[in-house]
């Protein structure tokens, strides 16, 4: 047989194998609830490349299972698998060759760190290197099978056995939470946290959550504000959380999701990308009762079932499945500011946590190609984009925005956030556009205020107002007895910012009303 004939036959066989794969996928139970598009499964099988055989192995396994919903659950996972990946790391030596060091094979984290230090001292390893891998190309049939079997076992034996299959798939079934390393975590969590299932037999979920929220505090080291990992590892895997027993809010929130889902309790991973009236962000959870009503759960606080204490820019819930009508479905990734808005799998749940309203802005549009504007909050000394809206005839509306915050409309172009209008302060009983009145200037008095402003002797304080950028009004030096600073020639109706020379970027903008009263944002 000629080489050309052999290649032709090989191509025919590959095409037949792909066709058989698609037929196998599309022949699922017609009575089961469809939560996916069959075309997504076919496309992802092709994208899996050499790993397609692992996916089909799991398909064949569940084709033989007595419960047809398990096969549907697998199809749900595969259909949405293309947006998921692991952010992991490896160690490399001086020749930039990877050295296999599996931390989970050590008896504990201290022993692992000792081994790493010894290997460094012998020049066997030099530094850790980030490594990304897509789930489609790396997930094994064993992980999928074990995850689905254990998820169904937990669901069917829990008090949540009557929730919809859709809610089960989204909030109990997933084998991962965010972008953590892919690990087979179900069995370990199932046995470690069996006491939660036992407690639910005679107690409400609200009362059980009080114990869940405090459980980790006896063995977990919370590294809030000091979360420095030597490895480029943005998230810990399910088993790493139990192994390392240390991490910040984002790790604690993930720990709760693994824990609760292992017991058949629907839970989600939520986060505040940026506070609207403070610096930084936060990570927390939603837990659902048996009627799928949302329960606010924050294991870093006490009590753990608690409302937010400050205005969030947004509260975002991570889902496993792709969500329609989000920005990434209509805009290219490089046209979207970095962060969660580039993702395909999230829900805006701000109104579950805070009083919200729609905020509208008039925005000048000189470039008709610009169709999207962004709402920004002031966080960490800069304007941070936290939501988006379509521009319609020079107007943009941002939905579900927290009251009690100030927002700046902006465009995103060439990797830069560009102001698109004047900021608005959204109060709880009204709103105000903060357009500085340069024709009417005044003197303002800034007094010390506990938790907001304390003057330090011999330090320089600079007052700015916002007009497409922060513009300097005046500078003053505080003395040893300074309790009040007066600034002159301040535009009326302006958003103001006082920056001390020792600034750490935590200052909050404010406005001064006609009666001299100050409002912080």
- Give tens-digit pLDDT for 99-113: 989 999 999 999 999
Is 247 a domain residue? Answer: no
| Distant-in-sequence contacts of 288-296, Cβ < 8 A, 24+ apart | 288/163, 288/167, 288/171, 289/205, 289/206, 290/159, 290/160, 290/162, 290/163, 290/205, 292/163, 292/164, 292/167, 292/266, 294/349, 294/352, 295/205, 295/206, 295/209, 296/352, 296/353
> Can you give the pLDDT at residue 515?
87
Range of the domain at 400: 353-432
Give the integer Cα–Cα distance in Å for 101 and 231.
Answer: 13
Calpha distance 176→147 (Å, rounded): 10
Confidence label for 33 from pLDDT (cuts 50, 70 and 90): low
Residues 514 and 442 in one domain: yes
The C-alpha atoms of residue 455 and residue 447 are separated, in whole angstroms, by: 9
Is residue 71 situated within a structural domain? Answer: no
pLDDT at 10 over 80: no
> Is 364 in the same domain as 421?
yes
Do 416 and 469 share a domain, yes or no?
A: no
In a domain, 79, yes or no: no
- Out of 370, 403, 432, pick the residue that ends a domain: 432
Q: Is the domain of 452 the same as that of 504? A: yes
Same domain flag for 442 and 393: no
In a domain, 45, yes or no: no
Span 273-290, pLDDT tens digits: 999 999 999 999 999 999
Q: Following DSSP, what letter does each residue of 431-463 receive, concatenated?
A: EEE---EEEEEEEEEEE-BTTTB---TT-EEEE
Q: Residue 34: what pLDDT?
A: 81
How many domains does one find in the chain?
Answer: 2
DSSP alpha helix (H) spans, 48-108: 52-63, 68-79
Boundary-marking domain end, from 382, 399, 432: 432
Structure token digits, residue 45: 């099988």
The CATH number given to whatever domain includes residue 449 is 2.60.40
421 domain-assigned? yes
Mean pLDDT, rounded, of the chain: 92
424 shares a domain with 359: yes
Beta bridge partners of 418: 411
Residues 511 and 460 in one domain: yes
* pLDDT digit string, tens, across residues 445-494: 999 988 889 999 999 999 999 999 999 999 999 998 899 999 999 999 99
Q: Specify the pTM.
A: 0.91
| Tokens representing residue 290 in the block | 């048996």
How confident is the model over 229-241, as pLDDT tens digits? 889 999 999 999 9
**Is position 133 within any domain?**
no
| Residue 505 φ/ψ region, left for φ over 0, alpha for ψ in the -120 to 50 degree band, beta for the rest | left
Is 484 inside any structural domain?
A: yes
Write down the pLDDT at residue 381. 95
Is 183 within 8 Å of 237 (Cβ atoms)?
A: yes
Bigger pLDDT: 362 or 12?
A: 362
Residues 416 and 370 in one domain: yes
pLDDT at 21: 45
Q: Give yes or no: residues 494 and 466 share one domain.
A: yes
pLDDT in tens, 330-358: 999 999 999 999 999 999 999 999 999 99
Find, among 412, 440, 434, the residue nearest to 422 by Cα. 434
The overall longest dimension of the chain from CA atoms, in Å, is: 98
Last residue of a domain, one of 410, 432, 454: 432
226 vs 16, which has greater pLDDT?
Answer: 226
* Domain assignment of residue 426, yes or no: yes
Work out the burial of residue 183: count CB atoms within 10 Å of its CB; fewer than 13 is exposed, 13-18 middle, 19 or more buried: buried
Q: Is 136 left (phi over 0), alpha (psi -120 to 50) or beta?
A: alpha
pLDDT the model gives residue 345: 98
Q: pLDDT over 90 for what percent of the chain? A: 85
Q: State mean pLDDT over 113-127.
A: 93
Across 316-325, average pLDDT: 97
């Amino acid at each position: 047989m000629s080489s050309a004939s052999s290649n032709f036959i090989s191509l025919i066989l590959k095409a037949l194998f792909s066709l058989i794969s698609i037929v196998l996928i599309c022949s699922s139970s017609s009575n089961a609830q469809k939560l996916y598009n069959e075309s997504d499964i076919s496309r992802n099988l092709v994208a899996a490349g050499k790993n397609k055989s692992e996916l089909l192995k799991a398909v064949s396994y569940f084709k033989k299972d007595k419960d047809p919903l398990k096969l549907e659950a697998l199809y749900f996972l595969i259909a949405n698998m293309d947006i998921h990946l692991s952010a992991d790391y490896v160690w490399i030596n001086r020749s930039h060759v990877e050295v296999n060091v599996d931390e989970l094979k050590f008896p504990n984290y201290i022993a692992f760190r000792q081994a790493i230090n010894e290997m460094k001292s012998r020049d066997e390893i030099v530094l850790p290197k980030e490594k990304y891998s897509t789930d489609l190309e790396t997930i094994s049939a064993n992980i999928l099978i074990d995850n689905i079997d254990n998820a169904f076992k937990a669901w069917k034996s829990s008090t949540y056995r009557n929730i919809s299959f859709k809610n089960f798939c989204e909030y109990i079934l997933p084998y991962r939470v965010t972008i953590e390393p892919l690990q087979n975590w179900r069995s370990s969590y199932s046995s470690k946290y069996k006491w939660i299932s036992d407690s639910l037999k005679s107690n409400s979920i609200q009362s059980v959550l009080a114990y869940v929220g405090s459980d980790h505090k006896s063995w977990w080291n919370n590294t809030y504000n000091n979360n420095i990992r030597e490895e480029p590892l943005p998230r810990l895997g399910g088993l790493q959380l139990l192994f390392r027993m240390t991490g910040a809010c984002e790790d604690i929130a993930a720990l709760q999701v693994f824990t609760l889902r292992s017991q058949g309790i629907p839970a989600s991973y939520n986060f505040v990308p940026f506070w609207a009236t403070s610096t930084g962000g936060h990570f927390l959870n939603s837990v659902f009762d048996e009627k799928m009503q949302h329960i606010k759960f924050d294991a870093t606080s006490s009590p753990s079932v608690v409302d937010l204490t400050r205005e969030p820019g947004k509260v975002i819930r991570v889902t496993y499945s792709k969500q329609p009508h989000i920005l990434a479905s209509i805009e290219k990734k490089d046209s979207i500011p970095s962060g969660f808005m580039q993702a395909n799998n999230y829900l805006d749940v701000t109104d579950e946590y805070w009083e919200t309203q729609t905020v509208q802005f008039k925005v000048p549009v000189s470039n008709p190609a610009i169709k999207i504007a962004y709402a920004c909050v002031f966080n960490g000394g800069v304007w941070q984009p936290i939501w988006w809206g379509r521009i319609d005839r020079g107007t943009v509306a941002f939905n579900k925005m927290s009251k009690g915050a100030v927002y700046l409309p902006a465009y995103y172009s060439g990797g830069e956030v560009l102001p698109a209008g004047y900021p608005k302060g959204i109060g709880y009983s009204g709103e105000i556009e903060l357009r500085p009145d340069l024709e009417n200037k005044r003197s303002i008095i800034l007094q010390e205020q506990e938790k907001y402003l304390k003057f330090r002797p011999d330090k320089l304080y600079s007052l700015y107002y916002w007009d497409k950028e922060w513009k300097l009004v005046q500078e003053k030096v505080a003395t040893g007895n300074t309790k009040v600073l007066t600034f002159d020639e301040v535009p009326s109706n302006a958003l103001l910012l006082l920056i001390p020379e020792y600034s750490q970027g935590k200052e909050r903008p404010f406005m001064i009303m006609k009666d001299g009263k100050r409002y912080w944002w």
